[in-house]
Amino acid sequence: MKTRRPLRVVLGLALLLVALLAVPAQRVTAAAAVTYTVTVGGAFLRAQPDLAAANTQPVFAGQKYAVLQHTADSNWLQLDMPKAGDGAWILAAFGALNGDLSAVPVYDYAPVVQRAAPPSALPDWIPAVTPYMRRTLQAAAWLGKDPDVFTVIGDCNSESTAYLGRLAAGTFQLPAGQEYLRSTIERFSASFPRASLATHGSFGTTAMFDTTWADPNQCAGDEGPLACELRVSRAGIAFIALGTGDQYEWQDFETNYRTIIDYTLNAGVLPVLVTKADDLETHSKAPDGYINAVIRRLGKEYGVPVMDFWAATRSLPGYGLRNEGNDNFHMTPAGSDARILATLQTLYALTHR
């Protein structure tokens, strides 16, 4: 004869089963041994895994979180941060992962790109794109480059934390009326958090082929920073932002700069020449605006785009440069913002017109 369990025992077991089934999936995942430690100085979490998404909460170097979800490409991670709720997404490149990410659920996300109408005309300092420029960019894919990836060749003002890494970290926001650039941000999203191997605080044109400055962990023994970066990044577009570091060797600038343009084009990459906001070479008896004049002239000669950042900064206080005495060349926040915006507008022009 079977013994019946008391009703209260049956109800208790049923309630326990319901409680177990009701445990949120992400909290179960959060208990798994998959964690993420922030390694950058600071960044904002995003409401969605998208550089155009709103900022939620800041995180800082050394902070450690459990990972709840990740995107299919593993570029974005959702962290277990109650203050941010579901909006706790961060670029994986901003930290170190500990554990097997395959044990974490994949988040099915399709970004909604706002396609606001662009202005009738871009600023004068944004290059007019020619058929030759478009063909050069299209040919990048045939030569093993990625036309949806760009890189930067430059000095301290081009380092990630001072330039495009700010967009990735959430410390730059699109100004009102520039929302049409969201599709450009989405298209080139993989490039913004990357630190270029050909960018360093002391770089001038001569450093580009100097193997002493190449990262030994990523570059071949015969590669300088330029060759190494173009190979590793597989970028289809390269912003060449050099000249400040050539103030003392300004007489050699044109020869060195030509070599850089030639190498970049031969590598199947479209160079975008960038003028500078300073005029430091005049302290070494160069004519006023000498280096920028060379950059503009070579842009016309080679038929490659020139982003005239000098022109973009003329209306900014101090021309977008910090007041450091007689040698002003570091960007102010306003100068950095103007440079990021001009870069996005240039990328838009190259891919939309």
- Tell me the pLDDT band of 18, cut-offs 50, 70 and 90: very low
- Kindly state whether residue 112 falls inside one of the protein's structural domains: no
343 Cβ neighbours under 8 A, 6+ residues apart = 164, 239, 307
Into how many domains does the chain fold?
Answer: 2
- Kindly state whether residue 307 falls inside one of the protein's structural domains: yes
- Does one domain contain both 237 and 186? yes
- Kindly state whether residue 255 falls inside one of the protein's structural domains: yes
Where residue 40 sits, what CATH number does that domain have? 2.30.30.40
pTM for the model stands at 0.84
Residue 6 has pLDDT above 60, yes or no: no
- Does one domain contain both 201 and 331? yes
- Does one domain contain both 191 and 87? no
Last residue of a domain, one of 107, 122, 139: 107
Residue 4 has pLDDT above 80, yes or no: no
- Does one domain contain both 344 and 298? yes
- Does one domain contain both 70 and 38? yes
- Kindly state whether residue 80 falls inside one of the protein's structural domains: yes
- Kindly state whether residue 94 falls inside one of the protein's structural domains: yes
- Does one domain contain both 30 and 69? yes
State both tokens at 335.
């100068």
CB 249 within 8 A of CB 257: no
CB 137 within 8 A of CB 270: yes
Domain that holds residue 61: 24-107
- Does one domain contain both 156 and 255? yes
Residues of the chain with pLDDT > 70, as a percent, come to: 89
* Phi, then psi, of 262 in degrees rounded to 5: -60, -45
Of residues 25 and 186, more confidently modeled: 186
- Kindly state whether residue 270 falls inside one of the protein's structural domains: yes
* 240-262 residue pLDDT tens: 999 999 999 999 999 999 999 99
CB 265 within 8 A of CB 271: yes
- Does one domain contain both 154 and 289? yes
- Kindly state whether residue 113 falls inside one of the protein's structural domains: no
Residue 9 has pLDDT above 90, yes or no: no
- Does one domain contain both 139 and 31? no
* 61-118 residue pLDDT tens: 999 999 999 999 899 999 999 988 888 999 998 999 999 999 999 998 876 666 667 8
- Does one domain contain both 140 and 272? yes
* 282-333 residue pLDDT tens: 999 999 999 999 999 999 999 999 999 999 999 999 999 999 877 788 899 9
- Does one domain contain both 103 and 135? no
Last residue of a domain, one of 59, 75, 107: 107
- Kindly state whether residue 274 falls inside one of the protein's structural domains: yes
- Does one domain contain both 137 and 37? no
Where residue 258 sits, what CATH number does that domain have? 3.40.50.1110
